[in-house]
Structure 1
Amino acid sequence: MTALASGGDRAADLDAARLLLSRLGLTPADLLDTTPARPPAPTFAAYVPVVSAAVSKGTRGTYEPYWNYAVQAWADRPLDTITPSEIKQLGEHIRSHVIHRRNARGGTGAVENFVGALRCLYRHAEDDKLLDPAANPAARVAKPRRQESLRYALPPDRLAEINHTAATTGNDPELDALIIRLHTETACRRQGALGLRPQDLDREQCLVQLREKGSTTRWQPVSPTLMGHLLHHAESRHAVEPHRQLLRYHSGQPITTRRYDHLWHRIGLHLPWARTQGISTHWLRHTTLTWVERHYGPAIARGYAGHLSHTSNNTPTIALYTKATLQEIAAALATLTGEPHPLAPRSNR
C-alpha cells in the first residue's frame, strides 16, 4: 500500500506543477476550461455574402437591403463585437431615412425587417458554430410592435374602376388586365404571379400552381375564362419553355416587379382616390379573401389564401382539423366569378 505523501512532498509537487504551467504559458483556470476554441467571428463584409447565398430568393430580396445597411456601418467589424444598443441605433437611423410613401407608417416596417435580417444573419452564425448563442446581440433586440394594416376590401365599384383603367390605358392593356384578374381570382402575391410558368397550368382541372412566401407551393383554382387567357398569353408571348416565366411583354421578355410599379402609378394618375390611399396589388388580396371569409368562413379563407395550417399563438388548434379542400376553394371561386368550375360540387356549377 502506497504511503501518503508528506506535507513537504505535496508542496514540492505543487511548486513543480506551477513551474511547468508557467513555462507552458498556462494558468490553472486554463485546465478547467474544456470548451473547444471557436474560430474568430467573421466580419459583416465577409459573412453577409455567405448567408445571402444560403437563403431563398424571397428571403434574400427582403433582407438584402438591410444587410447592406449593416455592411456599410460595420463592414470590418466581427459579428461578436456588435452590441444590442448599436443595433437599435442603426435601426433608428434606417427609420429616419426610410422613403416616405403615401402608405408609409413611420418606418416601423423598415425597422422590423432590419431586426429580422440581423436575426437571420446571427442564426446562421450560430448554426455554423461561429458564435455562442448567448453572445447573439440581435436576439436581445425586440422588433417594433406591428401596426394594424391600413388595407381593406375594396367595394365592387372601386374594383371595377381599377379593372377598367388597367384594360383601357397604358402600352399593354392586355397584359395589365390579365395581371389584375389573376390576382383578383387567386388572391396570390406578386411573387406567386411572377413565378408562374407554363408547366404550372393544369388546363383540364383549371388549376395554377403558385409558389409564394416561405417557399410554399399550392394548387389554386382559376376560372375557365382566366385559364383560357393564361394559355393564350403563353402562346402569343412566346412563353414556350415549360419551366420559364409565363407573364411576358410582347417582345417575349419576362416582366418584373417594375411592371407592377408602372401599373399602379398609371392607375393612380387616372383614379385619384387610388393614388391617395396608396392602392396596390396586395389590396386585391385583401378584397378577395375578405369576400371568401364573409361567404364561406375562416377555414376556406385560410385555404384560399394559402396560409399554412400549423398553429401559432394566435391560431386555434381547431385549424389543424378544419383544412379547406380544393373542391371547397373551387366552389368559392365559382361563386365569386359566376363561372362553373370543374372541381366545384355540382350544386355550385
Structure 2
Amino acid sequence: MSSFFGELGQVSEFECHDRADFSNDVLKSNTPMVLRGFARQWPAVSIAERSDADFHQYLRSQALETEVIVFSYNENNNGNLAYTKDLSAYAFQSSKVPFTTALDDIFSARNNDSSKHYCGSVPVSGCLSEFKKDHAVSFLDSTIEPRIWLGNASKVSAHYDVSDNIACVVSGSRKFTLIPPDQISNLYVGPIDFNLAGRPASLVDLDQPDLKKYPRIKEALSVGLQTQLYPGDAIFIPTLWWHQVESIGDFNCLVNYWWSKTNNNASEAYEALIHGLLTISGMPEAQRMQWRSFYDHYVFRLNGDPAEHIPEHKRGVLGNRTPEINKKIKQFLFRSMSSKH
C-alpha cells in the first residue's frame, strides 16, 4: 500500500469577514475552502483548549438525556469506522444510549485502548440546552440546526452529503481528504443500501490505498485535496464532494451545519437517483442512452431552457419553479407511483 497524504493538493484558505464574503467568495466557489479561525471566538473552543476535563464538564453541565446512536470499536481496527474486509458487517458495534452516557463514555475511554466510542450528527438543540444560543454563526440562517460530533480517535471513510456543509473543529484536530464529485467511478463505492450512515462510502482508505486492488483510485487522488484543521478552524464542503475525515485527539469535537441552496429538500435529488435505479438502470443499453438524451434535455438542460419556444403562460411544469408547480409535480408523482403498488 502507498501513503498519499502529503502528496495531494492543499484546500484553498479564505478569511471570511461577513455574510457578503461568505456568499460571494465561499458559496459561489463551489469548491472546498478552509476558513481559519472561523470559530475562534466560540466559548466552547476556549474551554476545550484548557483541558479535556474542563470541556467535558462544560458539555455535561448542559447535556440532555436524548437517546443517541454510539459507535464502539477497539484498537484492532485502528479507529476505522468502515466495513469488515468481506463486507459482511461493520467493523464496529452500534447502540442507543442517552447523550449524557455517550458523553461520559467517550471521555472515560480517552486512555482505554480496548474500548473507543464515536457519536455523530446529533442535533445540538436536542442534546445541549445552551450551546446553540452561545455559538451562533452570523453568516448562516438562524433556522439551520447545528449538529455535534464527539469521539475518540477515529477515521470515517470517504462519503458525500447532499447539502452544503460547514464543519467547525472545537477540540482535537481533523484531517480531511477531499475528492471531486465527478470521480465517483474511481472511488470504488460500497453498497447503497448497506452503508455506515445513510449514504454509500468508498471502500478505499485514501491515506493508504491498495493500488493493486483499487487501481483507479490513483486517478481520483490525482485531483484530490487535503487539509488539517485545528480548534477554531472550519471547512466549507460543497454538495456531493467526497470527504474522508480522520478525527485526531483523545476527546475530539466538531460542530457542523448543513443547508441547501435551493428551496427543495436536498435529499429529493438522491431519492430521484434511487428511483432511476428502479426504472432505468435495468433497461437495454440503447434504451438507457435514449432516456439519457431526455434527461440531458429536460433535467440537466445541456442545450439551454427546454421550454424557451413555448409561451410562458403555457410552460406548466417546465416554467419557473413556484410552490404551486412543485406541489403539482409531487401530486402527479404520488398518484402515479401509488397506482402501481
| TM-score, normalised via structure 2 length | 0.25
Instruction: Identify, as 1 or 2, the structure richer in helix.
Output: 1
| TM-score, normalised via structure 1 length | 0.25
Instruction: Identify, as 1 or 2, the structure richer in strand.
Output: 2
Greater RCO (Cα-Cα under 8 Å, separation 6 or more): 2
